[in-house]
Structure 1
């Protein structure tokens, strides 16, 4: 009978005397200094990295204190790493002249990576509507995938939440509001930019998102021609006409050329027009007070003329 001793693998001395604490420590995530040129942006990352004043403040902080919170990345099969959280910190490091930044490397699948990426950014107060819209959409899709695979939305009590309900709960929004944000992703880029720039109000924008893309482009032209944006009432009628297949160029022009009630009750004077009549030192409040006084004098004069 042949001996099977040659199949026996002896443990090393280190393995024999290694404690559970040592083994657990070996599996803990560690912060590594990763070269910036090895960090690639997350695919379809919805959060914009802007070289604004906040970025300049971040650069100053990095120069003085370094990167206080490590970024999170995952290995890229094609080499290097895909950045999941820390795009603004990476840009700050580049502007500060650094070559590396501290990063935690995690093995995450696509859905788990999306959840970490969104959750790491979604609580920022200065998020643009477009950023929140695409972040909600990406997270909702990831939650749906996870729920389909392993029922991760079930609680210990056995109550299963819909993916959009779970997203709303985690975001601190109503389910309807989450869905309304996601509707913004259906806008063409020009209209979505107007929402970010507060040139197109949120509620009308949600209604406009139901228009076909060619209808949205037609709306852009009508807005430019009339030098106005749709009110909520106008946007709702545009949506209704579109759904009924009656949104012609003539119908859109007729709706957009309507005088809004709010505009009928409002008189607007541009500040550069008024500045010609006031000293440079006058504040807007002082200008307003002076205008009211002058109108009072004008009204009294008119009354005197009528009494004669």
Structure 2
């Protein structure tokens, strides 16, 4: 039986004359210069882009040498490109008054994009606890979806393997990954205090088990007593919360306790010291002068004791 002509597929002219090398080249990733106006931030990006001294240094470097490491972006359905890696470089380009930046465009699904975004940012030296917390959470969820296993006996086993993967990639234990993720349960005001080192990491993990309303009340208690919880105090706050007994009065009572470390601590604020020094003195000059006075006093006291 004769074949119908309409079923015969003819090669295009481009296919006939293209080489295997040129076809492979088409599939290779290329660096393209894209307008900054076409680059949009990653959805729920956990890393902050701040105009600080480091950013201004980066902008100056970009102005002199350009962007040395291309950003990574993926096409958006609504047009333009979503940045996966390179948010700080884009901001540096804006400060350097550039219109474009080099970008590698990749077709990535949501989970692939999350993993690249987190891993590229975790290489930075200075990362806030809140940034690490939300980054670990995003990556853990992506790995769980990406590596869903039907041969595991329970979801707990799958979660354990996912946490181990996140920890291995970041150089920390799976337990530390979980502890960081606990910080995402803190209300923004308390989480900011963790970033600002007003509340230490370990107490913050314990406070993350408090209900949102209790955390809000804790802010009032901390403000009234001008204190932040130690680890033991945070553990007791958590215990009272679990028992349903954590009232504002209980919080205030706990926060008013004198901490063991405060018993031997002497605090001299700048306001107290300024009246003893010329107005032109800097804090460093005041400190150096005080140390010299103390050394002189100590030597005199030692001589007197030896007589």
Q: 1:299–1:249: structure 2 CA closer, same or farther, 3 Å change rule?
A: farther
CA displacement 1:100-138 (0-9 Å, x = unmatched): 111111111111110010011011111111111110010
Equivalence for 1:30:
30
CA contact (8 A) 2:143 2:162 kept: yes
Cα offset for 1:278?
4.5
Equivalence for 1:79:
79
Gaps of 5+ in 1: 152-159
Q: Does 1:201 align with 2:204?
A: no
Q: Decide which moves more: 258-267 or 279-288.
A: 279-288
Q: Does 1:118 align with 2:118?
A: yes
CA contact (8 A) 2:277 2:286 kept: no
Gaps of 5+ in 2: 152-158
Cα offset for 1:273?
2.3
Equivalence for 1:244:
243
1:150-161 superposed matches below 5 A:
none
Could you say what secondary structure the match of 2:147 adopts?
helix
Equivalence for 2:290:
287
Equivalence for 1:39:
39
Cα offset for 1:60?
0.9
1:168-207 superposed matches below 5 A:
168-207=167-206
Equivalence for 1:21:
21
CA contact (8 A) 1:204 1:231 kept: yes
Equivalence for 2:254:
255
Work out the CA distance in 1 between the residues paired with 2:78 and 2:189.
34
Could you say what secondary structure the match of 2:102 adopts?
strand
Cα offset for 1:70?
1.0
Query: How high is the TM-score relative to the length of structure 2?
Result: 0.89
Work out the CA distance in 2 between the residues paired with 1:42 and 1:256.
40
Equivalence for 2:62:
62
CA contact (8 A) 2:193 2:199 kept: yes
Could you say what secondary structure the match of 2:55 adopts?
helix
CA displacement 1:241-269 (0-9 Å, x = unmatched): 10111111121111111000110111111
CA contact (8 A) 1:38 1:81 kept: yes
Equivalence for 2:128:
128
Cα offset for 1:56?
0.7
RMSD over aligned Cα, in angstroms? 2.7
Could you say what secondary structure the match of 1:200 adopts?
coil
Work out the CA distance in 1 between the residues paired with 2:76 and 2:285.
59
Q: 1:259–1:107: structure 2 CA closer, same or farther, 3 Å change rule?
A: same
Could you say what secondary structure the match of 1:184 adopts?
helix
Work out the CA distance in 1 between the residues paired with 2:303 and 2:74.
76
Work out the CA distance in 2 between the residues paired with 1:18 and 1:161.
50
Equivalence for 1:157:
none
Equivalence for 1:231:
230
Runs of at least 4 residues off by over 6 Å = 298-302
Q: 1:14–1:24: structure 2 CA closer, same or farther, 3 Å change rule?
A: same
Could you say what secondary structure the match of 2:83 adopts?
strand
